[in-house]
Structure 1
Amino acid sequence: MGSSEHSEEANWVLHTPRLPGLWREFTEASGEEISPKDTLPAPGSTKHFKKSSTASSAIDEERLDIDLDLEKNSRLVERTQWVLNGPEPPGLWHELMDSLRETISCCRKKYSSLKNQPTLKSAVSVQQEIFPILVWGRSYNMSKFKHDLMAGLTIASLCIPQSIGYATLAKLDPQYGLYTSVVPPLIYAVMGTSREIAIGPVAVVSLLLPSMIQKLQDPEADPIAYTKLVLTATFFTGIFQAAFGLFRLGFLVDFLSHAAIVGFVAGAAIIIGLQQLKGLLGITHFPTNTDVISVIEAVWTSFHHPWSPHNFFLGCSFLCFILMSRFLGKKKKKLFWLPAVAPLLSVILSTLIVYLTRGDKHGINIVKHVKDGLNPSSVNLLQFNSPYVGAVAKVGLIVALVALAEAIAVGRSFSTMKGYHIDGNKEMMAMGFMNVVGSCTSCYVATGSFSRTAVNFSAGCETPVSNVVMAFTVIISLQLLTKLLYYTPTAILASIILSALSGLINLSEVYKIWKVDKLDFLACIGAFFGVLFASMEIGLLVAVIISFTKIILISIGPGTETLGKLPRTDMFCDTAQYPMAVKIPGIMIIRVKSALFCFANANFVRERIVRWITAKKGEDIKEAIQLVILDMSNLINIDTSGIATLEELQKNLISEGIELAVANPRWLVIHKLKLSNFVEKIGGRVFVTVGEAVDARFTEKLPPPANASC
């Protein structure tokens, strides 16, 4: 029997009516219609009293019911006192001090635990906290190294051509992309907590940097000054990222919601793709603006000037080769290495073709000189005395947020598959430190790459040592192979970047966002169109504004719902969601769906309640409302405007001969209601649950015990 009842209640939840749409919620001008559902017997109804064939038995049973109800009423009064006589809630200053005290206490515990340990052991504990490699390195063995070696070589074959391409995308010399694939991965391997993430330059950051910095310095007019600003922005990016981790400010990354990131990345992918038309078509003059209109206009005008079809043919041929290899790699799991090796094979083959045919003499654009050698020091290139230092710091903050959002999203995605947890604060510290050091060693902003991380995961990496293998492979390339890249066509680099963009536009995720949450979809397309038609920073700003607007609408939304009692239970639920919920005649139970009852929504709620009562009164005089119960279980806080509105509502109800009761108020809410004397104005009708408020209404109609005994 119990199992069947549970199944029935589960079906109530699973088969509720469809939610009203967003448009209906915003355009709803009147209160919900109160339908004449099945109702419970009214208070004082004869259905609540058993009738016996004899007068004496009827009197005895009535006295017994009265005694039970009086006992129940005394319990209700006692439970009401629990609500009214609770301790005073902590104030804002008290909460801040508690938070600070808790942080200091945790630090003291760590310090005392280290102090009680031997000096050597405490030093090791501190180092293990900073460098996770000292923890997982204990169990490292040759078997794991074999997997990491294979994975590292695989992602290196993808990293080398991508790094050169992303450096050109960032309007830097090709070697800066290779530099960025050396130092940051080595530092992350020591300080990071993710096993699969592959560190290096990425497409979105490579486009975001020039889109903002070229407004300060033209990379074509003065490439050296431009490079200095990029390295300075990288330094500020690392400082901000390390500060986020040190002060546990990771919640700032959450301001970029999942939907906003999906739209932002999709818009950036299209912009990146259009930017690659410069290399694919061999266009010499290209706009500095990144919006789609400027790029399309430049491409259109280029067809009226001499352009090299050889670049287009060569780039498209190898783009088809890379896409075909990716298709085969997905179809046959044993060929997982083919999509990773294809970009490197494309570079080698295209370079040989251009060298043997002297294609550079026939209009094919080539990379030309790539500076060899290890990362040179760039400390003297950081511009802290520049007049643009404030603007560059702002660029660093924006890039820090975007890079962290991408890296943490990538790291969490693959750590979930492996069943372990990454430490967000340690990740931020690792990212920040590697970018600070990277800015001093000729690297621009590095973060976690989704495409290379996916390859790293598929190749069977076990630890961050795969990043070390990749970095040393790039070091060998910088020492020995840079001269061979002289004849590498720029069209191949463009095709490699274009082949990586398909994974950035996730149409299925966009459709899912549309289906689940329309406001999230609005943030998604806001970021998308902002990036597409304005700039990267405008797209981010639009997404953040829409996300904050959504939070405000949800927090202070004036939604209300009428409650009814579910059959054979003591639960009161929304009658719109649960049509089987039974309304009680003479009692209106209303729950405010907002977390805040404040100046923005208080009057709306009051007007809706008054309108409902007026409509109910006009429909059926016999079932006139005698009591309104406000379920405050959702309310977290209330302001003075909300309290004033409740007082006005109380006056309106009294004028109609209706009483007001409050059920399940939260700690801060009941505290403010007591301070404003509102509890006294409603006669102390405050209850722990809605059910007790209803029961109290029933017992109020009973005669006093003295008369019952007569």
Structure 2
Amino acid sequence: MVGMRVPYGGSYTNNGSNESQPPGAAPEVPAMVEVHKVVPPPPQSTASKLKTRLKETLFPDDPFRGFQGQPARVQWVLAVKYLFPILDWLPAYSLSLFKSDLIAGLTIASLAIPQGISYAKLANLPPLIGLYSSFVPPLVYAVLGSSRDLAVGPVSISSLIMGPCCASRQPHCGADAVPAARLHATLFAGIFQASLGILRLGFIIDFLSKATLVGFMAGAAIIVSLQQLKALLGIVHFTTEMGIVPVMASVFHHTKEWSWQTILMGVCFLVFLLVARHVSIRWPRLFWVSACAPLVSVIISTLVVFLFKAQNHGISIIGQLKCGLNRPSWDKTNIDTTYLGLTMKTGLVTGIISLTEGIAVGRTFASLKEYQIDGNKEMMAIGLMNVVGSCTSCYVTTGAFSRSPVNHNAGCKTAMSNVIMALTVMVTLLFLMPLFVYTPNVVLGAIIIAAVIGLIDIPAVYHIWKMDKMDFLVCVCAFAGVLFISVQEGLAIAVGISVFRVLLQITRPKITVQGNIMGTDIYRNLHQYKDAQRIPGFLILATEAPINFANSNYLNERIKRWIEEESSAQTKQTELRFVILDLSAVPAIDTSGVAFLIDIKKSIEKRGLELVLVNPTGEGHGKNTASERGTQAFQVGIACILTTGEAVASLSALAKMASP
């Protein structure tokens, strides 16, 4: 039988008239009210439920869609293309695409060469290692990566973290060899990154919230810049610690080592680089100005030093660099247990940070060009890239914040731009290394400062402050931790606060009292909507979190306290008779949640009240139904109705029929 909907906020009469009634009064209802009861979901086996949950957890992107119904040969081809994305775009590659990628590849190579040398110095590595890391890893990524715009190479943040790794315990190595500790940290980073992708555990990096990253990047940028005071001031003896206090102490304790020639050159080139960056930001079409500025700075400063013999006047230079490609380094992968813990920690931190940076940049440009990248596939590509890099004298690499926008603005079409950049670096390694002998270290420091200064995002910090004060606290903690303690500890503090906030939201979920929006059948939070008004005799509550072992006791105590408050404030006209619990926004419920419903039902019945559930989700209603069929201890037996409006209407009708 089809019932009639009640116009809540007005009265219903059999003659069809609709008369208004005082605000807050209970709506009058007909004796017969159509009630849509919640239908439990169809029964599923435990194996089927587990399969569905694992699929949604580990394969939310459904990477194997399109495989079903295909012949075995086609499935093998699709699987190979999934593992090696280059096979997807290379067969259709054309000359017009190559022209665009050629320009983009040469442009980012002009930026990658000076940055590679500079970041290697930042990581306390020989300059050649930065170029090695700009040669092999981009080739590996071009085969395995799915992003068209990501420009791969060493980055400032990973270099900063890698710098102090085992500085006092590293084995002796030559001037152009990679310290074993850095290789081990790179190997651990690559294994960790690839494992996250293979095991489909990419959600772990989601614990680095935007507020955490904004604060972390700003603090790291300041620390990186302050570390470059060694080169900008010409200081020889400088601290290897990362905190702002030891860095500034080292600067002012060695004022006798300051060189005015070095300071003059550093300031001039730093101003030039910052002006070039400002020009590219102000006029995006002139992106090449900022991209070419580092290489131009290296060329001009090298010529100045060579012509005026500036190395004899206090300006330090890179020195002799050997020509040649990456040297195999797998013979150095024998791990010394004396510094195993430190290298594993460094590899873990650099792996997470570089992975977050690379995937964030890749997704940003993928959304701009309206194509998709597979996050887990990217983790595998970046991880395997670093594993190969650890065996070829490279250190941690990823998609760079500074080079990827240049690659995008230069018009890259595919990952071939990384190949062209790598080939350009290869030519440099084979033939052009003697040209860098007179390159001054102060210019490399200026290049680093100009590159990382863009990581300080003040508008983002202000936006976080306006939007969410708790997120702002996380941002400040990450910033202060990096600045005053260390990079690793600062990041750990920020992540810890973020996780604590999530746990707090789970264990202390928000519960709201609902009221009726006059003239509608909509029920909303009384404290949020001024038009919402209580329905006499009803306590309507809603929660927006899973009901589980972590919060069931809190929900039980909070609801009982609300009932006591309502009962103590009642009058004859507003006597509390019904408690409605809206579960529309409750995604899941466990056995502790079912036990909570049992307990709250018994408590409510002892007070002579009735409990009704509104729109429980499939999982919650399924467990409710299953418990009714189970033992006597778990018989819930609570009525479940589709909407709050129907629950109020049906209960009001029953109350009216029961009244004399």
Q: Structure 1 length normalisation: TM-score?
A: 0.82
Secondary structure at the residue paired with 1:288?
coil
Question: For the residues of structure 2 that align with 1:693 and 1:498, how far apart are their CA atoms?
Answer: 64
Question: 1:123: how far off?
Answer: 5.8
Question: For the residues of structure 1 that align with 2:281 and 2:38, how far apart are their CA atoms?
Answer: 66
Question: For the residues of structure 1 that align with 2:276 and 2:578, how far apart are their CA atoms?
Answer: 72
Q: 2:141 aligns with which of 181, 188, 195?
A: 188
Report the equivalent of 2:299: 348
Question: For the residues of structure 1 that align with 2:55 and 2:230, how far apart are their CA atoms?
Answer: 58
Q: 1:113 to 1:600 in 2, by over 3 A?
A: same
Post-superposition CA distance 1:95-152 (Å, at most 9, x none): 43555699999989959846355xxxx6644432222122112232121211111111
Question: For the residues of structure 2 that align with 1:347 and 1:599, how far apart are their CA atoms?
Answer: 64
Q: 1:692 aligns with which of 624, 646, 655?
A: 646
Post-superposition CA distance 1:421-475 (Å, at most 9, x none): 1121221121112111111111111101111111111111111111111111111
Report the equivalent of 2:199: 247
2:236 touches 2:257 (CA, 8 Å); kept in 1?
A: no
2:105 touches 2:419 (CA, 8 Å); kept in 1?
A: yes
Matched, 1:168 2:130: no
Q: 1:131 to 1:679 in 2, by over 3 A?
A: closer
Counterpart code for 1:276: Q
Question: Which piece of structure 1 moves more, 428-437 or 391-400?
Answer: 391-400
Q: 1:677 to 1:565 in 2, by over 3 A?
A: farther
Matched, 1:625 2:551: no
Secondary structure at the residue paired with 2:488?
helix
Question: For the residues of structure 2 that align with 1:123 and 1:97, how far apart are their CA atoms?
Answer: 24
Question: For the residues of structure 1 that align with 2:528 and 2:454, how far apart are their CA atoms?
Answer: 39
Question: 1:636: how far off?
Answer: 3.6
Q: 2:467 aligns with which of 513, 516, 521?
A: 516
Matched, 1:267 2:267: no
Question: Which piece of structure 1 moves more, 134-143 or 443-452?
Answer: 134-143
Report the equivalent of 1:144: 97
Larger radius of gyration: 1
Question: For the residues of structure 2 that align with 1:525 and 1:373, how far apart are their CA atoms?
Answer: 45
Q: 1:637 to 1:333 in 2, by over 3 A?
A: closer
Question: For the residues of structure 1 that align with 2:580 and 2:76, how far apart are their CA atoms?
Answer: 62
Q: 2:185 aligns with which of 215, 218, 233?
A: 233
2:280 touches 2:287 (CA, 8 Å); kept in 1?
A: yes
Matched, 1:297 2:249: yes
Q: 1:312 aligns with which of 263, 266, 274?
A: 263
2:148 touches 2:412 (CA, 8 Å); kept in 1?
A: yes
Report the equivalent of 1:153: 106
Q: 1:361 aligns with which of 292, 303, 312?
A: 312
Question: For the residues of structure 2 that align with 1:218 and 1:508, how far apart are their CA atoms?
Answer: 44
Report the equivalent of 2:31: 69
Q: 1:448 aligns with which of 396, 399, 411?
A: 399
Post-superposition CA distance 1:45-81 (Å, at most 9, x none): xx655699xxxxxxxxxxxx99x634x3xx54xx548
Report the equivalent of 1:562: 513
Question: For the residues of structure 2 that align with 1:479 and 1:313, how far apart are their CA atoms?
Answer: 33
Question: For the residues of structure 2 that align with 1:652 and 1:130, how far apart are their CA atoms?
Answer: 58
Secondary structure at the residue paired with 1:233?
helix
Counterpart code for 1:82: V
Question: For the residues of structure 1 that align with 2:64 and 2:418, how far apart are their CA atoms?
Answer: 33
Matched, 1:198 2:155: no
Secondary structure at the residue paired with 2:534?
coil
Secondary structure at the residue paired with 2:481?
helix
Q: 1:575 to 1:273 in 2, by over 3 A?
A: same
Q: Structure 2 length normalisation: TM-score?
A: 0.88
Report the equivalent of 2:586: 635
Question: For the residues of structure 1 that align with 2:63 and 2:203, how far apart are their CA atoms?
Answer: 20
Matched, 1:178 2:131: yes
Report the equivalent of 2:612: 661
Report the equivalent of 2:39: 82
Question: For the residues of structure 1 that align with 2:591 and 2:285, how far apart are their CA atoms?
Answer: 67
Mapping for residues 275-674 of structure 1, pairs under 5 Å: 275-303=227-255, 305-596=256-547, 598-599=551-552, 601-614=554-567, 616-617=569-570, 620-638=571-589, 649-650=600-601, 653-654=604-605, 656-670=607-621, 671-672=623-624, 674=628
Question: For the residues of structure 1 that align with 2:422 and 2:171, how far apart are their CA atoms?
Answer: 31
Question: 1:328: how far off?
Answer: 2.7
Q: 1:114 to 1:176 in 2, by over 3 A?
A: farther
2:171 touches 2:180 (CA, 8 Å); kept in 1?
A: no
Secondary structure at the residue paired with 1:213?
coil
Post-superposition CA distance 1:558-580 (Å, at most 9, x none): 42212122234322222222222
Higher normalized helix content (fraction of residues):
1
Q: 1:268 to 1:195 in 2, by over 3 A?
A: same
Q: 1:124 to 1:647 in 2, by over 3 A?
A: closer
Question: For the residues of structure 2 that align with 1:697 and 1:466, how far apart are their CA atoms?
Answer: 68
Q: 1:511 to 1:463 in 2, by over 3 A?
A: same
1:591 touches 1:632 (CA, 8 Å); kept in 2?
A: yes
1:679 touches 1:686 (CA, 8 Å); kept in 2?
A: no
Q: 1:173 to 1:521 in 2, by over 3 A?
A: same
Question: 1:292: how far off?
Answer: 1.0
Counterpart code for 2:31: D
In percent, how many aligned pairs have the same letter? 41
RMSD: 3.2
Q: 1:448 to 1:658 in 2, by over 3 A?
A: same
Q: 1:101 to 1:651 in 2, by over 3 A?
A: closer
2:129 touches 2:176 (CA, 8 Å); kept in 1?
A: no
Question: Which piece of structure 1 moves more, 323-332 or 131-140?
Answer: 323-332
Question: For the residues of structure 2 that align with 1:366 and 1:359, how far apart are their CA atoms?
Answer: 9
Counterpart code for 1:465: M
Question: For the residues of structure 1 that align with 2:593 and 2:69, how far apart are their CA atoms?
Answer: 48
Q: 1:640 to 1:455 in 2, by over 3 A?
A: closer
Question: 1:602: how far off?
Answer: 2.3
Q: How many corresponding residue pairs?
A: 633
Counterpart code for 1:190: V
Question: Which piece of structure 1 moves more, 265-274 or 383-392?
Answer: 383-392
Question: For the residues of structure 2 that align with 1:514 and 1:90, how far apart are their CA atoms?
Answer: 48
1:89 touches 1:668 (CA, 8 Å); kept in 2?
A: no
1:185 touches 1:471 (CA, 8 Å); kept in 2?
A: yes
Question: 1:187: how far off?
Answer: 1.3
Question: For the residues of structure 1 that align with 2:404 and 2:579, how far apart are their CA atoms?
Answer: 58
Question: For the residues of structure 1 that align with 2:631 and 2:524, how far apart are their CA atoms?
Answer: 30
Counterpart code for 1:301: H
2:166 touches 2:339 (CA, 8 Å); kept in 1?
A: no
Post-superposition CA distance 1:625-644 (Å, at most 9, x none): 22221222233445666566
Question: Which piece of structure 1 moves more, 364-373 or 518-527?
Answer: 518-527
Question: For the residues of structure 1 that align with 2:213 and 2:577, how far apart are their CA atoms?
Answer: 52
Counterpart code for 1:167: A
Question: 1:214: how far off?
Answer: 2.9
2:102 touches 2:420 (CA, 8 Å); kept in 1?
A: yes
